[in-house]
Structure 1
Amino acid sequence: MLTSIKKLWNENISAKEFMSIGLLGALVIVGIVCVLLYLYDPMQIFHKPYFRKLTFHQDMRIQAKGIIKHYDFDSYIIGTSMLENTSAKEAGEKLDGKWVNISLSGSIFEERSVILEYLFANKSPKSIIYTLEPYAMSDKIIENKEAIKRTAKVSYLYDDTEIDDIKTYMNYKFISCAFSWSNSKKCIGESDDLETLLQWGLRDEYKRLFGGFENWIEYSRDDKGFELLNLEGKITHWDFVGGVEVDKQKQNLTKTLLRFIDKNPNTRFYLIIPTYSRFFWRFNIQNEKGVFADVLFYQNKEVFQWFVNELEKYPNATLYGFDTLDYADNIANYKDSTHYNTDMNSMQLDAIANKTHIITPQNVESYFEIMKQKILDYDVKSLVESVKEFLK
């Protein structure tokens, strides 16, 4: 190689010509890599798999594009980890339609609005199930810079230009996978079954966390024993007084959700408030993040009172809530303070099918009053004592 370069140089090739040859060679190499990555396409951004088995990645921030683009679904479950356990098959049986779950774990409304934008630009969905997380009503979450950066990081995938989508694969991991045409899980994903792809509730590492706080402590990967070790110091006394400002929340929901409901009257939107445990609302487990349970409750109350009145304009959208049930009283139903078991996902589908647990302008006030009373009635002292006894 060096001999050839010297020979070319000695033949009086100019520096400019030499640089041009080098640049051309680099472009050829990059072109070959791009073609190979396009053909390999492990997350189906461009096409269904060529010369390999059909698989999907769990990272729905990227994988959702290929599912929307290449597969014939007419109804979509687009939530967070709170909806990941919702069965698309069960949704189809109870609600009709051809459903798929493309929920984004830990997503904020902005992230899901990017997916919704792409979905409505390319498909005409009949129905969408969507969650409105209580936690997301906090100012701290709306202004979360990391989540905003995360949204920007993949938004190029869902714009009108596809040529830059290849940069998703421009890293050592995917290039090495493509050159070996690997079928390993780290390269092409873990499952060929979209039904169970996201269902963490089926995995033993999570299933064992249900059943009570003893399991939280015994099996949690947190070395501090999850939220329970300093439980007594985190009791929420619900002494918050005064109003809360929710203008940011209203603007956020208008921009990320209501505009889609407004522009797509033929799509049915089933909107669900995930049911956090009473434990979450009674203990300030997120105070280190600046999120206080009592303040968050009143923010939610104000937002949803406004929101259900806005929904009156749209006959294609319905809001569902389950916080008035006794379900949230039983800590055994949760693997942590917010994530409920799979039976709640089925209850949500039943409510949609049977038109129950609907929140309206007429009952929203009583809904939150009942919820608040149940939170205040939660037996904090007995729980603290039982935790102390268990930790002896």
Structure 2
Amino acid sequence: MKQEYTNKKFVKTVILLVVIMMTLTASLGYMLDPSLYYRLPKHYTYFSEAFTTAGLMKNSPAEIAIVGSSMMQNTDMDLVRNEFGQRAVKYTRSGMNIDEITMLIDRATSLEKNNVDKFILNIDMTTFNSEPSSPYDKFPKYLYDENKINDIKYLLGFETWTKFIPFNFVYNTSINFDTPITNKVVNTFSKTTNIDLMGDWSFGTQFSEEIVKSKYENNLESVSKQNIDGMYERMKQRFDKEFYPVIYNNTDKEFMIILPPYSALMWYEAEKQGYAEILFDFKKYMVTRFSGLDNVKIYDFQDYEGIINLNNYKDTTHYIPEFNDMMIKSLAVSKNVIDVNNVDTRISNLKNIVLKFKTQHKKWL
């Protein structure tokens, strides 16, 4: 009997200790808050766009949100603020697809504390040709819902305690010492102290025709292969079912949709694979569908003359930061807007640029 009592007491003691440890750990996680989920401190470091974006949505006072893939990650946020005269924040992730974009817009517009009334977002049209996927494959769902209880996954989470908090500690310790090792740590992670640079991949990136040509010829970072069987109908269906309703249901928000300036080489390859015309048709469809919404403007940079110069690229799609600057300046003055009245002309312009590119580079294409 005494042995049974001792065993029960031991179990209760262990459970109590576990509860105490979990409570202390969660409390410390709340205070340190490495993903800025509960507050925006004066000094911070961040390590994951997927985690940090959830915090920015709740705590940033911005009126403008930059949303999208690597096409938008190099956006100069100070330029956005200067051009529009409003506060701005980035919700970006490399390879962001249409499922993730719609989820982020849904989440931002549902938060009472979120002040964003203008969304600047890029559309990579081929994402409409992919199969629907869960946006929470990359984004932690428990940070993007209204359930407070499951936030414990963040406070006690693997990423929080094995990545974010340790790196945060190492960085903030290193800045107080002047040694080769600590200086290397500071230089490596200093970018993470500037939230405007989150996801920015331009630092140290080389842009040149030689690099692009080499990657293309060696099938490195090549143009994605597309399933062209039923492609147009599939793209229309996903647009109508998933993307259009999100925009339509938020008529009190302004949406500035960017069609980014991929290189002419990308369009040449799309033409070779047999889906360039499908993208042109889908662009026309998208422009027509949005023509009835006063809160939407589409800005087309696909026929920008600079796409013919491969020195502006690191591969077939990723361009120099100056292109991001050009696009923001154009948006600020409503330049390069595409609508039902000029969509055919803009498509024709792009085709002519691609034809010119093929003529100039016919020796190696």
> Is residue 44 of structure 1 aligned with residue 31 of structure 2?
no
C-alpha separation between the residues in 2 aligned to 1:257 and 1:312? 15
Given candidates 166, 169, 186, the residue that maps to 1:182 is 169
Number of the residue aligned with 1:362? 341
Separation in structure 2 between the aligned mates of residue 149 and residue 373 of structure 1, nearest angstrom = 40
Deviation at 1:130, TM superposition (A): 0.5
Letter paired with 1:136: T
Q: Distance in 1 between matches of 2:338 and 2:40?
A: 41
1:304 corresponds to which of 265, 273, 283:
283
Gaps of 5+ in 2: 173-184
What amino acid is the match of 2:108? L
Q: Does 1:271 align with 2:257?
A: yes
Whole-angstrom distance in 1 between the partners of 2:325 and 2:363: 31
1:211 correspondence with 2:208:
yes
Could you tell me which amino acid in structure 2 is paired with residue 60 of structure 1? Answer: E
Judge conservation of contact 2:117–2:254 (CA < 8 Å) in 1.
yes
| Paired amino acid for 2:356 | D
What is the Cα deviation at residue 12 of structure 1? 4.2
Q: Measure how far apart 1:144 and its partner are.
A: 6.9
Match of residue 97, structure 2, among 108, 113, 125: 108
The answer to whether the Cα contact below 8 Å between 1:270 and 1:319 also exists between their aligned partners in 2 is yes
Q: What's the CA shift for 1:76?
A: 0.7
Corresponding residue for residue 249 of structure 1: 235
Q: Which structure has the larger Rg over C-alpha atoms?
A: 1
The match for 1:131 is: 122
Structure 1 residues 383, 329: CA separation in 2 closer, same or farther (over 3 Å shift)?
Answer: same
Matched letter for residue 334 of structure 2: K
Identity of aligned residues (%): 19
Aligned to 1:25: 17
1:150 paired residue among 137, 146, 161: 137
Structure 1 residue 318: Cα displacement = 0.5
Candidates 293, 308, 316, aligned match of 1:329: 308
The CA distance in 2 between the partners of 1:43 and 1:101, in whole Å, is 14
Structure 1 gap segments, 5+ residues each: 1-8, 218-224, 236-241, 285-291, 388-392
Partner of 1:68: 57
- Of residues 61, 69, 86, the one that matches 1:80 is 69
**In the TM superposition, what whole-angstrom CA distance separates every residue of 1:165-221 from its partner, at most 9, and x where no partner exists?**
2313545563356589815279x98433223333322x12x1xx21322x458xxxx
| Contact 1:36–1:178, Cα closer than 8 Å, also in 2 | no
**AA matched with 2:123:** L
- 2: distance between equivalents of 1:180 and 1:59? 12
Q: Give the C-alpha shift of residue 88 in structure 1.
A: 1.8
Whichever residue aligns with residue 370 of structure 1, its letter is: N
Task: Report the Cα distance in structure 1 between the residues aligned to 2:165 and 2:145, rounded to whole angstroms.
Answer: 25
Asked if 1 retains the 8 angstrom alpha-carbon contact of 2:69 and 2:122, the reply is yes
The offset of 1:115, in angstroms, is 1.5
The answer (yes or no) to whether the contact 2:53–2:91 under 8 Å persists in 1 is yes
For the 8 Å contact 1:38–1:166, the answer to whether it is kept is no
Alpha carbons of structure 1 residues 165 and 211: separation in structure 2 relative to 1, 3 Å: same
SS at match of 1:324: coil
Alpha-carbon contact 1:75-1:99 (below 8 Å) kept: yes
- Letter matched to residue 150 of structure 1: D
CA deviation after TM superposition for structure 1 residue 82, in Å: 0.5
TM-score, structure 2 as length reference? 0.82
Residue deviations 1:361-388 (CA, integer Å, cap 9, x gap): 1222232233223323323684654x9x
Give me the whole-angstrom Cα distance separating, in 2, the residues matched to 1:183 and 1:380.
54
Tell me which amino acid in the other structure corresponds to 1:143: E
Contact 2:118/2:255, CA 8 A, preserved across alignment: yes
Cα distance per residue 1:325-376 (max 9 Å; x no partner): 3211100011111011112112212221222211111222232233223323
Secondary structure, in 3 states, of the residue corresponding to 1:336?
Answer: coil
Contact 2:119 2:255 in 1 (8 A): yes
The answer on 1:97 being equivalent to 2:97 is no
Kept in 2, the 8 Å contact 1:55–1:192? The answer is: yes
Q: 1:144 to 1:184 in 2, by over 3 A?
A: farther
**Change in CA separation of 1:178 and 1:63 when aligned onto 2, cut-off 3 Å:** closer
CA distance 1:22–1:87, shift in 2 (3 Å): same
Q: TM-score, normalised by structure 1?
A: 0.76
Cα pair 2:207 2:311 within 8 Å, conserved: yes
Question: d(CA) in 2 for partners of 1:295 and 1:75?
Answer: 37
Alignment: residue pair count: 345
